[in-house]
A and B are shown apart, each in its own frame.
Chain A
Amino acid sequence: MERIIAGFVAALRESGIRVSPGESLDAVQALALCGMDARRSSRQLLRLTLVKNVNDIAVFNEVFNRYFSRFHYVDPESDVPALMDAAIIDMEGGEFTYLNQQQGDDHDDHGPLLKLDSEISPEDLAELKSLTEIDPDDTDGTEIVMQMKGYRGKAKKPPRSTRRYTQNPLVIELNKSDSVGRGVTFSPEEQAAMQDVVSRMMLRLRKDMKRMKNNQNRGKLHVIKTIQKNYRHDMVPFQVALRRKRREKPRLVVLCDVSFSVSHASRFMLLLLHTLHNQLLDVRSFIYNRDISEITDMLANMPVNDLMETIDTGDIVDLDENSSFGQVFLKFKKQYLENLRGRPAFIILGDARNNYGDANDFVLDEIREKARYMLWLTPEDRDSWSRGDCLMDLYGSYCDRVEVVKTVDELSLFVEDLLRDIYADKADPLDRKKILEAKAAETYDPSDYYHRGESSRSEPVFDPGGRGHW
């Protein structure tokens, strides 16, 4: 039995589920306690002991069905497990309906697509596939590649082979409910992946933030409270009560381009803000295309997908217009610049393609006077910054920093860096020194960030719907 379990555990690991030796020992012990008289209960025992994450349950079921069934897979190398497999299947008797049902459940969510697949001949499929590969949606601009690193297990890996067809017009017609063109909302996988990036970022930030928050809370000795608190200790001040300092959240103003060319980057940015909002920062968010509009309240009060849908309907800013940075800046100055308080940090996300309108770069100069820090994030490569209608060189000269971001990871890193800086500004001088020192000691290499100190392993590439290569 140990060998079967070991083989099964190996199969699980191959599918990306992390199983420790201790857990496989648990599994053996559990099976010994309960016996293996029914397939169903064995499955439950193994699942209880081996799978420790909801997202891995689907993969577990798949591996279980594959491993413990003589129709799909019998380990050719060793005879003993094979025999035992057969024995288990014999014992399980007439439970195949359960197995079939389970498989049906797993693939339910792509119903119409599966039907379509079965009607198309393999040659057609190959043709379709090559079509999408050769002719990726040829829209302008660079797309943020959702390259997810770090362990997620294959469970979260999107079912690529089926999803890829949704890009194809043929299928989209049949499958209208799915996103058309502009990738209207996040798919659950995308959302989960983004949440993942954000939560990891939060985790890294949290320690610093907590320390700084604690320090912010500490002020001078609160004499009365200290005496009250230590009354029972005969006035020996064992516990000290300190006055609270007024806590101030760092302010951030974000301008997000939602035009088609950078929509994915801005979407991720919005999600990032959605998560950060109220937790660490006082954020004011704006979206713009030709027009600019504030969405701070909506970010705070709406589910993120609803917000994306509202943006996509064009009710907030018209998406069909060409983006015009000059006009946007002018309007921003008119409507909002006056009432920005407390030296916020500015992040502008956009490709600076002005469609040959007025640059109006003097507004940026005024913003810079009000801002603590200005960061411009662009998906354009440096050598095209002054090419065509791109005004990045001009605009960039007003910013403290201009960064090229192409992946979600990079984006989250820059935002994280900025947050650190902002917090360091707010922190005590002593703490600030510590943080800056720690930062200087770090050799900064964004591409290596997630792998520092880990062994290199091949990571699943996150690219639902083949959007990675526009």
Chain B
Amino acid sequence: MITEQGVKDFLQTGGYIADDAIATAVFLALRMEKPILIEGPPGVGKTGLAKALSSALDFPLVRLQCYEGIDEGKALYDWEYGKQLLYTQLLRTQLDNYLSVSSDLREAVERLSSEESLFFSKNFLVQRPILRSFLSEKRSLLLIDEIDRSDDEFEALLLECLSDFQVSIPELGVIEAKRKPLVILTSNGTRMISDALRRRCLYLYIGYPDLEREVAIVRVKFPDLCEDLARQMVAFLRKARDLNLRKPPSVSEALDWAQVLSIMKATKLTPEVVANTVGVIAKHQTDLQKVTDLAAQELS
């Protein structure tokens, strides 16, 4: 039996430092078999959580990256037309024999249509991510990434999958999940996700972590970075986030920066160090100036 603390611990072994809210959400999602919808600014570890979970729980990760115009052919299943055609070509002689028994055209059509299910069977079905994770023998982790990039129609398509863990294929009927996967949806909030979808999910908002947790995250990923520098770095980034930048530096920037600093073998943050590495944390021209100004002001 898993507990919340347990979730936290095994996430930590996967290299992910979770706070209480995240641990509770994961725990509930596992116990209640409900999807989690994660929202938050870019780069705070939404996708990272899914990856860490999949490695920590040993669930195979099935990832579905959403984009504008994604449809069921890309997300659920598709028919392999080419293969179907190929088979009819190859089986032509058999078909001829099979149909030669029938006396007239009508009978031949009936005879053929009685075997129709042969051509719409699982042999010719291409499993796309959602169906693949449903049919996986082992319990899997389905990551539906950046759902806000997809269209409304696709969201509606997900409703059935996420609430009942089943896929309806007109030719085959309803296919239910063998093992209900753990589903994680992420969104950057560029578009409002519909209430219908929200209702079916647990809602987790991951914001920027607090100082201690962020230091811990940096330390876990880069153990050779000295604690003082990590702390100084994170404190600086937290100040930078208040600057009202176009793209505030997030946790992923913190990790990049930590890597850069450890490569440069820096021991202390100085305005010069920041000025040299500012491209790692600020991603817009207007932001660069603001961050260097902050460094000159704070660190000298």
Q: Which A residues form the contact surface with B (CB < 8 A)?
A: 18, 20, 22-23, 26, 29-30, 33-34, 40-41, 44-45, 47-49, 51-54, 57, 199, 232-234, 236, 238, 303
Contact = CB atoms under 8 A, between A and B. Distances in A.
B199 A20 contact: yes
Nearest to A23: B199
Contact of B28 (A34, A52, A54, A199): A34
B203 interface: yes
Contacts of A30: 28, 32
A205 to B, nearest CB: 13
B203 A51 contact: yes
A402 B169 CA distance: 53
B195 interface: yes
B148 to A, nearest CB: 12
Interface stretch (B17-25, B51-59, B124-132): B17-25
Per DSSP, chain A at the interface is helix
B194 to A, nearest CB: 10
A234 B192 CA distance: 44
B205 A57 contact: yes
20 contacts: A20-B199, A22-B199, A26-B32, A26-B202, A33-B31, A34-B4, A34-B24, A34-B27, A40-B20, A45-B24, A48-B24, A51-B203, A52-B37, A54-B39, A54-B189, A54-B205, A199-B191, A233-B81, A233-B85, A238-B81
A62 B37 CA distance: 23
Given A41-B4, A48-B25, A18 B195 contact: yes
A360 B115 CA distance: 81
A45 B37 CA distance: 14
Nearest to A40: B20
A33 B29 CA distance: 11
A237 B291 CA distance: 57
A207 to B, nearest CB: 9
A107 to B, nearest CB: 19
Contacts of A23: 199
A357 B141 CA distance: 71
B20 A48 contact: no
Interface in B6-50: 20-21, 24-25, 27-28, 31-32, 34, 37, 39
A53 B198 contact: yes
B205 A29 contact: no
Given A22-B199, A199-B191, 15 more contacts: A23-B199, A34-B27, A41-B4, A41-B24, A45-B28, A47-B21, A48-B24, A49-B28, A52-B198, A52-B199, A53-B198, A54-B189, A233-B81, A233-B85, A238-B81
B246 interface: yes
B204 interface: yes
B125 to A, nearest CB: 17
Contact of A234 (B24, B27, B85, B246): B85
Given A53-B198, A233-B82, A48 B21 contact: yes
Contacts of A20: 199
A234 to B, nearest CB: 6
B20 A41 contact: yes
Q: How large is the interface on B (under 10, 10 to 19, 20 to 34, 35 or more residues)?
A: 20 to 34
Contacts, number: 61
Top 4 A-B pairs, shortest CB-CB distance: A52-B198, A52-B203, A232-B82, A44-B24
B89 interface: yes
A48 B81 contact: no
A30 B28 CA distance: 7
A48 B28 contact: yes
A52 B195 contact: yes
B11 to A, nearest CB: 16
A45 B25 CA distance: 8
Contacts of B25: 48
A57 B207 CA distance: 12
A47 B39 CA distance: 14
Contact of A236 (B31, B32, B85, B202): B85
B231 to A, nearest CB: 23
B17 to A, nearest CB: 17
Contacts of B199: 20, 22-23, 52
Contacts of B85: 233-234, 236
Given A34-B24, A49-B202, A54-B39, A29 B32 contact: yes
Contacts of A53: 198, 203
A40 B21 CA distance: 10
A47 B22 CA distance: 12
A23 B37 CA distance: 14
Contacts of B20: 40-41, 44
Given A22-B199, A33-B31, A48-B25, A199 B192 contact: yes
Contacts of B89: 234
A49 B198 CA distance: 10
Nearest to A238: B81
B5 to A, nearest CB: 11
A199 B37 CA distance: 21
A160 B45 CA distance: 36
A156 to B, nearest CB: 13
A45 B20 CA distance: 10
A244 to B, nearest CB: 16
A41 B27 CA distance: 12
A333 to B, nearest CB: 35
Nearest to A57: B205
Given A23-B199, A26-B32, A40-B20, A48 B204 contact: yes
Nearest to A21: B199
Nearest to B192: A199
B95 to A, nearest CB: 16
A199 B195 CA distance: 16
Nearest to B89: A234
A53 B82 CA distance: 45
Nearest to B191: A199
Contacts of B246: 303
A41 B203 CA distance: 15
B177 to A, nearest CB: 19
A234 B37 CA distance: 44
Given A44-B20, A52-B198, A232-B82, A33 B203 contact: no
Nearest to A44: B24
Interface string B62-103: 000000000000000000011001000100000000000000
